[in-house]
Chain A
Amino acid sequence: MKMTLVALGVALMSLLAIAADKPASETYTLPGYAKGVVGSAHDLSDASWRFSNACNTCHIPHVQSARPTSQPTTQPAIEMYRVGGQRRVFTPGRFMPGPTSLVCLGCHDGTVATSTIGSSHALLAGVREGFDVPDGFAWRDHPIGVPYPSGRRGYRPLAFVQANGKIRLPEGRIECISCHEPHNATGLPDMLVMSNRRSALCLSCHVK
């Protein structure tokens, strides 16, 4: 995997500092940079730094955005997605991905640059209107934009989920960032917010 190519390290550095320090000829093997967005899979900058840097994949400086997170370049509209889920837990079609998840889906909805992102590892978080829907398509991903069903049978109480401070539930809803930390702050595989060893992340919410 791509993550394993990145050297081990612990410090999360200031993005500007890293950008300034990074020599043009260096690859992502510098010790001390395994955590953090630079050198991660989310660092789409090219080696020459002429066109991009690690941040402006998603964030554009000096552009006012309606949202706290700066406007990503390819943010889709909410209406483009269908959110699934178990009928007994969520009402189908009632919930939509939240604003933070839309930032992720801008790239990860399986319709953008599929030659690069669309490997079998890629996320197909939903179906965008107007694109071909595979035969027998059904919801293939964990629901997002849905309120955490605290207190329901099979789910742990909200306090338990939030107790370790790692799982984030924006406005009480499950979003991409509930499980993933897109800046690679943890350095874990799949940019998870916590280790999923023995499925600890899954079982933080699910009583199984």
Chain B
Amino acid sequence: MLTSLIVSQFTSPAIGQRRLREALGPSDGAQQSIVGSAHDLSVSGPGSTHALYEQQVCIFCHAPHNTTGQRPLWNRHLPPSHYRIYESSTTDARIDQPSGESKMCLSCHDGALALGLVASRPPNDPIEMSQRTIPPGPADLTQDLSDDHPIGFRFDRALFARDPQLRNPDLVSVELPLGRHGEMHCTTCHDPHNNSRGNFLRMPDVRSAICLSCHDLHGWTTGSHSRSPARVTGRSVDAGERLPYQTVADNACTSCHKVHSADGPERLLRHRLDEQNCLNCHNGSVADTNIASEVNKPSAHRVELFHRRHDPNEDPRTMRRHVECADCHNPHAASPNLIGDSARTAPLTINPTMRFVSGLNRTGQPVDRARAEYEVCFKCHADAIAQSRRNAIARQITQTNTRLEFQTRNPSFHPVVGPRNNPDVVSLLPPYRVGSVIGCTDCHNSDLADSGGPAGPHGSIYAPLLIDNYSTRDFTAESPRAYALCYRCHDRQSILADESFPLHRRHIVDSRTPCSACHDAHGISRTQGNSTNHSNLINFDRSIVQPASGGLGSRIVFQDLGPNRGNCTLTCHNVTHVGFEYGR
């Protein structure tokens, strides 16, 4: 060994000791010693908490004689108290009260036991200290450990088998020692004798190397948060704590999580309010995308309205009504949106910003990982018991389950879940054509999505969270702007030239009737309509269209008689059609 080689060269003991110290270099230097560190509580210790007279350093934890009998010559009485322990709906660990080494640390760090009370001295003669107990602050974990990373659970193969987002404990770095039975202790991450890396950490924590030694998060390495060079210095990511590194990528987990004394105890979130963990950076300060201004728009997913409602384990069919950032995004895996808006013939694949997010598929079954964008939307806007039972427009037939509106066997629907082959649609602008597939976000998106703003249905000035203006009010004067949403795909010239329904111009321009008076944009479920009475998304707005008397009583009837042919029985704008037939 190098050490023994060095030693053999020193014959004079006095010189030998000095040379040896130099030869061993920084690895044996003061930097790594407990002497002079925050754990040096002797009278010459550096902190504000130290002994008044005691000169020894080790004595606060270890003594040569009359110890408690616990290894390693442990000199402190272990706290008898029961701690409030970490709880989470997503943990697979069986967390118990702290034990072993952890209790040794807690004998000071729970802030309850006197620092100077050691086993080697009589209880009535403790070491006199400048502070009786550990003062309030980051080192005082308190007896409530529910906001601290759990300890006292076994990180073994069984846990690894239960939790797919953990690493194999057999492969965890030897730098991070687990207990004899694989228990996680304070000492797994901390070396109480060595503060050379700060916080007595056993490894450098840049890019959360310590956390990621055990945690293997789906999509983390390819997600953008693990690679973001965005600088956090000088920005208020957390007013209460300066983050240790300069970029989001280097801070990694600690950008959003706190290992100790987290404001959001469950899942150790940095901020108490779920959305605050995201919006603190996504408000124009650190992140490029300013979502904070989006979710405050008139029509928005108002994440600030809900607190402690979202749970990653929730069943989308039975959960309580809420929306949080994490409902649509997995911040571990989220990546920048690179998918263009070209025409598609298959359902819109999941947006990179929504990778590794759960969903509800077209048959109404929850899926752990949504494959198509609509599956994420369906979590709340389909079978959820908590979703709104009232539509913005009262129609002939009412359907609040969006999933049923888009089924591909419906008499008519916009092609979100799958393509539709309807030759009646002759007005499509390229690249759209019959057989194309669109996504929810082709219509429901930020009003700034086209002009470089943060894309996605966070918020819009157009209700209901639409990418562009869509007037539904009766007697709206036709203009490119009035129905800008529809004209994104449907050629205004073609429609107004009556190339499809031959009376479009008469209705829209001359009579100032909105598109929504006759058309129900999502679709008509096959249980409620058929291809005769509800083709072409016909589902009349009852605030505009009234029944007409004639034939078999008062009714509203549309009858499809083939391509661009049909008849209507209704009253609208004080004009009554009874079996009024049109055709090209």
Contact = CB atoms under 8 A, between A and B. Distances in A.
Chain A partners chain B: yes
Interface of A: 84, 86, 120-125, 136-142, 151, 156-160, 162-165, 179, 196-199, 202-203, 206-208
B495 to A, nearest CB: 81
A129 B35 CA distance: 40
Interface stretch (B8-16, B338-346, B374-382, B472-480): B8-16
Contacts, number: 101
A199 B39 CA distance: 13
B64 A141 contact: yes
Contacts of B65: 123-125, 140-142
Given A140-B66, A197-B56, A203-B58, 6 more contacts: A86-B72, A124-B66, A140-B68, A159-B10, A160-B16, A198-B55
Contacts of A197: 55-56
B26 interface: no
A142 B71 contact: no
Contacts of B58: 199, 202-203, 206, 208
19 contacts: A123-B66, A138-B69, A140-B67, A140-B73, A141-B64, A141-B65, A142-B64, A160-B17, A160-B21, A163-B20, A165-B13, A198-B40, A198-B42, A198-B44, A199-B35, A199-B59, A202-B56, A203-B33, A208-B58
Contact of B13 (A124, A139, A162): A162
Nearest to B123: A120
Contacts of A157: 3-4, 6-7, 20
Contacts of A123: 65-66
Interface residues of B, number: 39
The 10 closest A-B pairs by CB, nearest first: A163-B17, A138-B69, A199-B57, A159-B7, A142-B64, A208-B193, A163-B13, A197-B55, A199-B58, A120-B122
A138 B55 CA distance: 27
A45 B10 CA distance: 45
Contacts of A199: 35, 42, 56-59
B35 to A, nearest CB: 5
B70 interface: yes
B104 to A, nearest CB: 14
A160 B1 CA distance: 15
A63 B188 CA distance: 57
Contact of A198 (B1, B4, B35, B193): B35
Nearest to A196: B56
A5 to B, nearest CB: 17
Interface of B: 1, 3-4, 6-8, 10, 13-14, 16-17, 20-21, 28, 33-35, 40, 42, 44, 55-59, 62, 64-73, 121-122, 193
Contacts of A140: 65-69, 73
B69 A207 contact: no
A136 B69 contact: yes
A138 B72 CA distance: 11
B1 A151 contact: yes
A120 B21 CA distance: 37
A163 B59 CA distance: 24
Contacts of A142: 64-65, 73
B131 to A, nearest CB: 20
B581 to A, nearest CB: 95
B59 A86 contact: no
A37 B58 CA distance: 28
A125 B20 CA distance: 33
Contacts of A202: 56-58, 62, 64
Contacts of A84: 71
Contacts of B6: 157
A86 B56 contact: no
B38 to A, nearest CB: 14
Contacts of A196: 55-56
Q: Which of B1, B3, B8, B56 has the most CB of A within 10 A?
A: B56
A132 to B, nearest CB: 15
Contacts of A121: 66
B9 to A, nearest CB: 9
Nearest to A180: B64
B72 A141 contact: no
A27 to B, nearest CB: 25
A164 B34 CA distance: 22
B13 A164 contact: yes
A165 B73 CA distance: 26
A25 B554 CA distance: 131
A151 B72 CA distance: 19
Contacts of B7: 157-160
Contacts of A179: 64
B67 to A, nearest CB: 5
